[in-house]
Amino acid sequence: MKKVWLLSVLALVLVISACGSNNSKNNNSSPAAAAPSKKAGSTDQKMYIPIISKGFQHQFWQAVKAGAEKAAAELNVEITFEGPETESQVDKQLEMLQVALDKKPSAIGFAALDSQASIPYLKKAQDAGIPIVAFDSGVESTIPVTTVATNNSVAAGIAADKMAELIGGEGEVAVIAHDQTSRTGIDRRDGFANRIKEKYPNIKIVDIQYGGGDHLKSTDLAKAIMQAHPNIKGFFGTNEGSAIGVINAVSETKMTGKITVVGFDSGKAQIDAIKNGLMAGAVSQNPVGIGYETVKAAVAAVKGEKVDPIIDSGFVWYDKTNIDNDDVKAVLYE
């Protein structure tokens, strides 16, 4: 009788041990590992393509998101769209990139806040066979299969030509840039500055400051420049937040009409400023087109199709004379 009782206890212990082993395996599964695999070449699941932008705070990024969602719907792929709270949060954006990599996506769309800091993460993507599509800003690497962007150097040169024309070809001007680490920040700053130096010897750039794309900080920087250079005749704001900051500084110091403001990007505040005479004009990218082409290129790359290394999304100069033209309204966003 005692022997039968011992055999029963042993059997019960073996059953409990087996259950414990299975639970242990389940508990060790990370969320990323539990996520459905949607790697390149998968035919039984939708492609999953996270889109990581520079931010969310400007209407520009909302327009990029709309274009990406349009392409996702047409191509029947799943996307997510996210970015850090400010365009100075490089570390936060890199965390988002790592989280995206952990989910083993089909491809990633990425607008780098820092053209070099993201390279180790992009190398991880390359090693995992995940195509990277750079958009808006490129990186100092050949890892992205393509870069979807405006030719920012050329576009900023057009802004310089307009500035020179508006201030009579002479005088002091300044630049409020959004950063000195992203390709857009670098190319727009240098595109404007180089054109001034090459073509307009009587125009002097007295200062270049970086406001992180924040309109409040950019306002303060513009006011400081105006105090240091009371004869300044013009400002170039390199993105939406920078341009709005300059507009506010000129308006609050009652220098409207005395200081010429040209900028980059669109948005309701800039459109209103041009219509009200607070701003002379700006270069607008085609943000909806940028988002659309980014997703389209990512899908093509996943399928192994040929993708051009550079996809120029174009730009337009707009001011009071053409702001209501159909071809201009098509690329403006509020």
How high does pLDDT run on average in the chain?
88
Distance CA 78, CA 47 (A): 6
Q: How confident is the model at residue 189, as a pLDDT?
A: 98
Domain boundaries defined on the chain: 48-150+286-313, 152-285
CATH for 152-285?
3.40.50.2300
What is the C-alpha to C-alpha distance for residues 109 and 97, in angstroms, rounded to an integer?
Answer: 10
Q: Do domains 48-150+286-313 and 152-285 have the same CATH topology?
A: yes
- Mark out the alpha helices in 200-276 (DSSP H runs): 215-228, 240-252, 268-276
Indicate the pTM of the whole model: 0.72
Which one-letter amino acid corresponds to residue 25? K
What local confidence, expressed as pLDDT, does residue 59 receive? 82
CA dist 174 and 329 (Å) reads 28
What is the rounded distance in angstroms from the CA atom of residue 157 to the CA atom of residue 174? 14
pLDDT tens digits, one per residue of 201-252: 999 999 999 999 999 999 999 999 999 999 999 999 999 999 999 999 999 9
Instruction: List the pLDDT tens digit at each of the 334 positions of the chain.
Output: 444 444 444 444 443 333 333 333 333 333 333 344 444 444 568 999 999 999 877 788 988 999 999 999 999 999 999 999 988 899 999 999 999 999 999 999 999 999 899 999 999 999 999 999 999 888 889 999 999 999 999 999 999 999 999 999 999 999 999 999 998 999 999 999 999 999 999 999 999 999 999 999 999 999 999 999 999 999 999 999 999 999 999 999 999 999 999 999 998 999 999 999 999 999 998 889 999 999 999 999 999 999 999 999 989 999 999 999 988 887 887 7
The rounded Cα 157 to chain-centroid distance in angstroms is 21
Residue 101 phi, psi dihedral angles, 5° rounding? -65, -40
CA-CA distance, 17 to 12, in Å (whole number)?
9
- Identify the bridge partners of residue 82 per DSSP, sorted by sequence position: 52
Give the integer Cα–Cα distance in Å for 123 and 215. 34
Domain 48-150+286-313: what homologous superfamily?
Response regulator (3.40.50.2300)
Instruction: State residue 35's pLDDT score.
Output: 41
Instruction: Look at residue 164 in the predicted model and tell me its pLDDT.
Output: 98
Measured distance CA(55)–CA(81) in Å, rounded: 10
Q: What is the pLDDT of residue 127?
A: 97
| Contact (CB, 8 A) for 160 and 256 | no
pLDDT for the residue 56: 79
Which residue pairs from 251-254 have beta carbons closer than 8 angstroms and sit at least 24 positions apart in sequence? 251/278, 252/219, 252/223, 253/223, 253/226
DSSP string, 282-300: EEEE-HHHHHHHHHHHHHH
Distance CA 273, CA 334 (A): 12
Lookup result for tokens 């802004």: 159
Handedness of CA 275, 278, 282, 286 (dihedral sign): negative
Over the stretch 76-99, which tens digit does the pLDDT of each residue have?
999 999 999 988 899 999 999 999
